[in-house]
Amino acid sequence: MAAQVVEFLTSKIDPVQFFSGSSSGSSSVFPYAISAPGQGNDFLGDSPVHSDLAAFTLRNYVLAVLSSPLQLVETLSEVQYQRREDGDDPAATDALSKQQPASTEQSGALVVVGDHQLEPLQNGVWDNLREIVESEGEGWTSLMKGHFTNFAFTASYAVLQPALEEAINDVFDVYEDTHPATLIASHVFVGGLLSPLELVRTRLIVQPSTSNRKKYYGPFHALHGITTEEHTGLGSLYSLRHLIPSLIISGLSPLLRAVSRIIIQEELGLDPTFTPVLHHLATLALMAVEVSIVTPFEMARKRLQIQWLTPQGRASSQSPQAFETSVVVSPRYYSGIFDCISSIVAEEGGRSRRRRRRKRVPSATGGANLGIGTEWHQVHDLDGDYRMYDVPGAARRQRDTGLIASMGRFASGVRTLYRGFWARYATRVVVYAFDEISQNDDGW
């Protein structure tokens, strides 16, 4: 039976049509098109199938390597817990203090990061990358965390989704090349089928890089660990906690992309052949709109993925997380994707103060080796809001009451939902540019 299913799906793949489709017209969310048979260098012999398969695999792997650092910043920025410094509800503060894990200390509004965890990633994409690389526990090798799992996911997605879409069109006698209903249905099914790979990818990225602290040593080891620890077997890989967000995102992304294609081609009348510059600019602009809509759901899904997936697994541990993390994560166990989004808006926002560091500052009198008495030491908080030290707690709470303060806290919480926007958008731009360049490169 399995052999018949595989034969049926592979029979639906037209190498000429699939591997040479353009990114603007491709129905796939991951348009990794490669040269058609007979085009480019056949470096594996005369067989076009071998050439296409090798080029397809190589390009997907190169793309996974290129996008891996951006996905690292995106994932760590989104799962990192940065509680709002001002305007905290005393009741919420007490509740969070009781739930705070032993790896962190909480004093008022300040969360002290452990020595083995990263500082708050609250700057730009490149600054966060430098922060990760220069950290003691991560380094350069951490930039490649989860890249092979991402390669397996994108390559499998790019093969299964078009084949399933064409099969659905044949079953229901749909003669259009791309029908919105079959397009979304195929993406939702394949996205749910491959959701365990996304679960594993997130956990591999969030776990520490040092061997004595990491829990999973590869995608297969992670899959085995999840199925055994969650006490539900293979069913834990398709737990509703992360399956429902995956289905939502898998259906929302192609829908927004189809709408963008209609706007560009029919409403704006732009064609990649006659107006290439305007077509690319419009694509990038609508891509930003798509990413802005999907980002809150992606953030909530990743936070759910690092927590226990089933009640049986959660009962075996006091921590809501299933493994040790390289960043401070939320001490709250989310009940679902919308509970996670509402909690982020209500509890997080603003800029968190970094851990205190002691810095030696030479005295103004100068001189070398004049002893410790001629120098003074300054303890400072990087990116800290020093006004909070000058305002008493009661006065600060009074200042943070009222409609304007509530709206400010709400806006700060909503802004937190887009902490990984630029990294995710940069990843999409890299995928788009890589695809456009590879299609016009005759050297492959």
Tell me whether residue 153 is in a domain: yes
* 323/362 same-domain check: no
C-beta of residue 5 within 8 angstroms of C-beta of residue 11: no
Q: Domain range holding 369?
A: 357-391
Q: In terms of domains, do 374 and 328 share one? A: no
Residues 95 and 184 in one domain: yes
Taking the C-alpha atoms of residue 153 and residue 302, their distance in angstroms, rounded to an integer, is: 16
Residue 245 lies in a domain: yes
Are residues 373 and 333 part of one domain?
Answer: no
Q: What is the dihedral of CA 66, 70, 71, 77, to 10 degrees?
A: 170
- Residue 422 CB neighbours (<10 A): 20
Q: Are residues 261 and 230 in the same domain?
A: yes
For residues 368 and 274, state if they share a domain: no
- 97 and 217 share one domain: yes
Diameter of the chain measured on Cα atoms: 88
Closest CA to 131 of 204, 195, 72, 57: 72
* pLDDT at residue 139, rounded to an integer: 84
- Residues 53, 96, single domain; the answer is yes
Q: What is the CATH number of the domain that holds 331?
A: 1.50.40.10
189 in a structural domain:
yes
**335 in the same domain as 226:** yes
- In-domain check, residue 397: no
12 and 140 in a single domain? The answer is yes
Residue 176 is predicted with a pLDDT of 73
Residue 268: partners with Cβ closer than 8 Å, 6 or more residues away: 278, 282
User: Within a domain: residue 257?
Assistant: yes
**pLDDT tens by residue, the chain, 444 residues:** 445 544 554 555 454 444 444 333 343 434 333 333 333 343 334 445 556 888 889 999 999 999 999 999 999 999 999 887 654 444 344 444 444 443 433 333 344 455 578 878 877 889 889 889 888 878 888 999 999 999 999 999 999 999 999 999 988 888 777 788 999 999 999 999 999 999 999 999 999 988 888 899 999 999 999 988 876 778 888 988 889 999 999 999 999 999 999 999 999 999 888 999 999 999 999 999 999 999 999 999 999 999 988 776 676 677 888 889 999 999 999 989 999 999 999 988 765 555 444 333 444 444 444 343 333 333 344 444 433 334 444 444 545 567 887 788 888 888 989 999 999 999 999 999 988 887 766 444
Q: How many domains does the chain have?
A: 2
173 phi/psi in degrees, rounded to 5: 55, 45
In a domain, 264, yes or no: yes
**Residue 228 CB contacts under 8 Å (≥ 6 apart), including other chains:** none
Do 224 and 371 fall into the same domain?
no
In a domain, residue 125? The reply is yes
The answer to whether residue 396 is domain-embedded is no
Tell me, yes or no, whether 283 and 367 share the same domain: no
